[in-house]
Structure 1
């Protein structure tokens, strides 16, 4: 897989920004080198597709809305009935999935070249993201490893809760630079670091 050039471009400025004098509330970085695959199962094939995803990735899912799994650089999460993102830092992810999921079970679409993944982490991650999205980011409402599909104005995003203080945001590459700037503005109040 050819390495993609970041759509964030010159807006990606490393270092501390905003009100960082009292400490950094969030760290923001682009995750690169990932394969992002969307799988859409037919309603009667969901259990079989989930089993196949588990055999291809080692990440076993139950058939519950939003449920996901995270293991290092690999993750999988549901964001709508029968729809899943499968992510790994390996170029052969799509081939692995196609070897265990036939066309009569589900559709498989490689979104690697169409999405940018932004990781937001830190003690103020929930606070900053709550400014942008009308969802509850607390662990009670949005458990670790779960996923959500939502909007920030007209920018669609898939979000996965990675750990206590970390979220991965999947946005269309065409909106990545604009969303990156918006995210920076939202984080200025608490101070943020770009890695």
Structure 2
């Protein structure tokens, strides 16, 4: 196994920053899944692909735009019609799907080397994200497990709600450093902790 260096390393500085008048508004951290895979179903094959995601990860995906699920080990969500982002704490997810997703069902793209995963959590996480994206991040509109794909100034971002007050953001590795700095600036006025 080759150790992958984080693109955030030069700007990732653990500590507390910003305005703490009302306490810590958000925490920011890099999460490092062992595997990140994008799956795409051919038209009419979506249900078969969702069943395959369930058999490989143990997650049950509901029908509907942005539906998703997560466990301690895996997470998955639909981010476009017939397209899903799946992550696993361990390596080898693309290989696990390769034996089950046939060319008749759809395609597999291993994104492990090309994405950086960032978690934002805390009581002001919805508010900070709403400053950056034109999305309703309230718990009723964006329930736990669900996800979307969107952009901020042309930086493609896939977002999954990982808990009542936390979100996982997947960005292109080449944009990770500038995205991180922007996220820190957006969090400054509520006070943030980097862990």
TM-score, normalized by the shorter chain, greater than 0.5: yes
Bigger Cα displacement from structure 2, 138-147 vs 120-129: 138-147
Q: What 5-or-longer segments of structure 2 have no aligned partner?
A: none
Match of 2:49 in 1: 49
Give secondary structure in 2 for the equivalent of 1:182. Answer: helix
Structure 1 residue 151 and structure 2 residue 151: aligned? yes
Match of 1:24 in 2: 24
Aligned positions, number: 195
Displacement, 1:22? 3.8
Bigger Cα displacement from structure 2, 170-179 vs 54-63: 54-63
Say if 2:33 and 2:117, in contact at 8 Å, map to a contact too: no
Runs of 4+ in 1 over 3 A off after TM superposition: none
Structure 1 residue 96 and structure 2 residue 96: aligned? yes
Displacement, 1:132? 0.6
Matches of 2:114 and 2:83, distance apart in 1: 17
Displacement, 1:104? 1.6
Bigger Cα displacement from structure 2, 57-66 vs 180-189: 57-66
Q: CA, structure 1 residues 65+87, in 2 after alignment: closer, same or farther (shift >3 Å)?
A: same
Say if 2:115 and 2:172, in contact at 8 Å, map to a contact too: yes
Displacement, 1:21? 5.0
1:63-74 correspondence to structure 2 within 5 Å: 63-74=63-74
Displacement, 1:112? 0.6
Match of 2:127 in 1: 127
Say if 1:114 and 1:173, in contact at 8 Å, map to a contact too: yes
Matches of 1:182 and 1:53, distance apart in 2: 33
Matches of 1:33 and 1:54, distance apart in 2: 18
Say if 1:46 and 1:63, in contact at 8 Å, map to a contact too: no
Matches of 2:49 and 2:118, distance apart in 1: 27
Displacement, 1:24? 0.7
Say if 2:65 and 2:81, in contact at 8 Å, map to a contact too: yes
Say if 1:132 and 1:152, in contact at 8 Å, map to a contact too: yes
Match of 1:62 in 2: 62
**TM-score, normalised by the number of residues in structure 2:** 0.97
Matches of 1:73 and 1:193, distance apart in 2: 24
Q: CA, structure 1 residues 33+47, in 2 after alignment: closer, same or farther (shift >3 Å)?
A: closer
Q: What 5-or-longer segments of structure 1 have no aligned partner?
A: none
Structure 1 residue 165 and structure 2 residue 162: aligned? no
